[in-house]
């Protein structure tokens, strides 16, 4: 993977203080000679954490602001070679409780970004991260990109709409866009404050704490999971590929496992915790998609991407990270006080 091609380039990461965005920032900083800018709103409970950039503060220009603020985003996109658009809310439950918030974070703000690019940087390359949640309950498995779209929550609807916005601006205005539909992603720098943004980080927290991992419906639902380093590889490959432009790609993993198997593996790796089946809470039953895992044959064929990390290996790495960094991810203020460490830090109210 010749990621050295990013050297000498300008890159903007939206949502760059979050889980996947910050891991991407670390990888680009490791490549070196990348003019790296991050925008993140640090919205409450969305996973943004200034600690996530620890160690690369001097290699990142950071703006804390809402991407939906046209004045801000208009000034950021000019001159960028690549934009990795990872901003947004990923909570399915919150999207049903606060649909207008989800609309803003997952649609309106992205239109502001696309309009800024149309007006001030129409040749930029944009990689947008969407979700396999757009498919809803699978009609067949594994789910491929031709599967019908039938989201079961507001989040999935808004994510799909924003996929279409990106592809429209590619066709109509010449922006070069790619959409990646992510499956369950796990790894370093994921928020552990609550369980409303997917099950895996909460399972990890419960196992490390020696608590009982609660499995809705006895945990029979099967999923595929990607370790975050493999997702970063996919993002970087999509950014460099001309053949990917105007396309949608699933990510996925050849291993599909039940939630009970994941919990059992975590208990084995940590040597702590137990698991128990519990009834589905009504609000989670409403958006549950049952068994779901994806075909990644298209991205493997076009970009040569295939996940490299075995689930057990990835979970062990993740546990090791949180064991070392517990104080920064257990019940902390996501706006914790590292701003003074960033020479280029700007906060825009």
pLDDT(336) > 70:
no
- Which of the residue ranges 206-210, 258-262, 323-327 would you say has the lowest mean pLDDT? 323-327
Q: Could you tell me if residue 277 is inside a domain?
A: yes
- Residue 286's pLDDT is what? 73
The model's pLDDT over 116-150, given as tens digits with 9 standing for 90+, comes to 999 999 999 999 999 999 999 999 999 999 999 99
User: Taking 50 as the threshold, does the pLDDT of residue 82 lie above it?
Assistant: yes
Q: What is the CATH number for 339?
A: 3.40.50.720
Instruction: Note whether residue 291 is domain-resident.
Output: yes
Q: Is residue 2 part of a domain?
A: no
| Predicted confidence (pLDDT) per residue in 294-314, tens digit | 999 999 999 999 999 999 999
Rounded distance between C-alpha atoms, residue 34 and residue 30, angstroms: 9
pLDDT at residue number 338: 45
pLDDT score of 347: 53
Range of the domain at 152: 7-347
pLDDT, tens only, 270-296: 999 999 998 877 777 777 788 999 999
In a domain, 1, yes or no: no
Share of the chain above pLDDT 70, in %: 92
Domain count, the chain: 1
Asked whether residue 333 carries a pLDDT value surpassing 70, the answer given is no
């Amino acid at each position: 993977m010749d990621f050295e091609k990013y050297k000498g380039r300008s890159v903007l990461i939206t949502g760059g203080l979050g889980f996947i965005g910050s891991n991407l920032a670390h990888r680009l900083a490791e490549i070196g000679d990348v003019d790296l800018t991050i925008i993140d709103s640090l919205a409450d409970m969305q996973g943004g954490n200034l600690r996530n950039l620890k160690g690369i503060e001097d290699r990142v220009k950071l703006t804390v602001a809402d991407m939906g603020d046209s004045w801000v985003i208009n000034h950021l996109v000019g001159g960028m070679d690549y934009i990795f658009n990872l901003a947004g809310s990923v909570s399915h439950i919150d999207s049903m409780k606060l649909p207008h918030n989800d609309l803003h974070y997952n649609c309106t703000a992205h239109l502001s970004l696309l309009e800024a690019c149309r007006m001030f940087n129409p040749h930029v390359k944009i990689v947008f991260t969407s979700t396999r949640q757009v498919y809803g309950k699978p009609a067949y498995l594994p789910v491929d990109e031709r599967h019908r779209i039938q989201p079961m929550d507001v989040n999935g609807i808004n994510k799909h709409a924003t996929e279409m916005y990106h592809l429209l601006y590619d066709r109509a205005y010449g922006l070069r866009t790619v959409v990646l539909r992510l499956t369950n992603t796990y790894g370093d720098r994921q928020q552990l404050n609550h369980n409303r943004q997917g099950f895996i980080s909460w399972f990890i927290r419960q196992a490390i704490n020696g608590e009982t991992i609660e499995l809705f419906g006895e945990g029979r639902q099967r999923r595929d999971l990607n370790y975050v380093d493999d997702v970063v590889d996919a993002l970087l490959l999509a950014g460099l590929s001309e053949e990917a432009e105007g396309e949608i790609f699933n990510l996925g993993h050849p291993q599909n496992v039940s939630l009970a198997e994941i919990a059992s593996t975590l208990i084995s790796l940590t040597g702590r915790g137990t698991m128990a089946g519990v009834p589905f809470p009504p609000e989670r039953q409403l958006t549950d998609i049952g068994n779901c895992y994806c075909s990644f044959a298209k991205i493997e064929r076009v970009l040569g991407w295939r996940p490299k990390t075995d689930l057990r290996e990835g979970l062990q790495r993740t546990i090791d990270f949180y064991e070392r960094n517990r104080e920064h991810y257990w019940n902390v203020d996501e706006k914790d006080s590292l701003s003074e460490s960033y020479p280029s830090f700007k906060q825009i109210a």
